[in-house]
Amino acid sequence: MPVRRTSMHGQWSSRMAFVLAATGSAVGLGNIWKFPYITGENGGGAFVLVYLICIAVIGIPIMMAEVMLGRRGRQSPINTMRALIADERAHGAWRLLGWAGVAAGFLIMSYYSVIAGEALAYVFRTAGGMFDGATADGVRSIFAAFTSDAEALLAWHTIFTALTMVVVARGVRGGLEMATKIMMPALFVILLLLVGYALDLGKFDQAVTFLFWPDFSKISANGILIAMGHAFFTLSLGMGAIMVYGSYMRQDTSIAKTSILISLADTTVALLAGLAIFPIVFTNGLEPAAGPGLIFQTLPLAFGHMPGGSFFGTLFFILLVFAAWSSAISLIEPAVAWLVENRGLSRVDATVRVGSLTWLLGLATVFSATGVTVGDIAHKIAGSVGLSTFAFNGRFFQMTAFGLIDYLTANIMLPLGGLFIAIFAGWVMAKRSVQDEMDVGNRFAFGLWYIVIRFVTPFAVIVVFLDAIGVVPWLRALIQR
List of residues contacting ligand PHE (CB under 6 A): 25-26, 28-31, 108, 233-234, 236, 239, 241, 327, 330-331
Q: How far is the CB of 230 from ligand PHE (least distance, A)?
A: 9
Q: How far is the CB of 81 from ligand PHE (least distance, A)?
A: 17
Question: In terms of CB distance, is 28 or 274 closer to ligand PHE?
Answer: 28
How many angstroms separate the Cα of 304 from the Cα of each of 130, 298, 383?
8, 10, 47
How many angstroms separate the Cα of 467 from the Cα of each of 78, 225, 295, 478?
31, 8, 30, 14
Q: How far is the CB of 415 from ligand PHE (least distance, A)?
A: 12
CA 459, 460, 462, 463 dihedral sign is: positive
Is the CB of residue 400 less than 8 Å from the CB of residue 292?
no
Question: In terms of CB distance, is 266 or 467 closer to ligand PHE?
Answer: 266
Q: 400 forms bridges with which residues in the sheet?
A: 373
Q: How far is the CB of 277 from ligand PHE (least distance, A)?
A: 16
Q: Tell me how many degrees the CA angle 319-323-325 measures, rounded to the nearest 5.
A: 110
- C-alpha closest to that of 273 among 308, 299, 312: 299
Question: In terms of CB distance, is 66 or 437 closer to ligand PHE?
Answer: 66
Q: How far is the CB of 31 from ligand PHE (least distance, A)?
A: 5
Would you give the DSSP letter of residue 408? I
Distance CA 74, CA 474 (A): 44
Q: 447 forms bridges with which residues in the sheet?
A: none
Count of Cβ atoms closer than 10 Å to residue 3 Cβ: 14
Residue nearest to ligand PHE as judged by C-beta position: 30
Count of Cβ atoms closer than 10 Å to residue 357 Cβ: 15
Question: In terms of CB distance, is 211 or 331 closer to ligand PHE?
Answer: 331
Question: In terms of CB distance, is 286 or 299 closer to ligand PHE?
Answer: 299
Q: How far is the CB of 301 from ligand PHE (least distance, A)?
A: 23
Q: How far is the CB of 410 from ligand PHE (least distance, A)?
A: 8
- C-alpha closest to that of 12 among 102, 77, 74: 74
Crossing angle of helices 15-26/172-199, nearest 10°?
Answer: 60
Crossing angle of helices 414-423/96-127, nearest 10°?
Answer: 140
Single-letter amino acid code for the residue at 387: L
Burial track 59-94 (b if 16+ CB lie within 10 A, e otherwise): bbbbbbbbbbbbbbbbbbbbbbbbbbbebbebeeeb
Question: In terms of CB distance, is 236 or 373 closer to ligand PHE?
Answer: 236
Question: In terms of CB distance, is 7 or 31 closer to ligand PHE?
Answer: 31
Provide φ and ψ at 452, rounded to 5°.
-60, -45
Would you give the DSSP letter of residue 287? -
Q: How far is the CB of 136 from ligand PHE (least distance, A)?
A: 26
Q: How far is the CB of 215 from ligand PHE (least distance, A)?
A: 26
Question: In terms of CB distance, is 111 or 197 closer to ligand PHE?
Answer: 111
Question: In terms of CB distance, is 25 or 161 closer to ligand PHE?
Answer: 25
- C-alpha closest to that of 284 among 171, 464, 138: 138
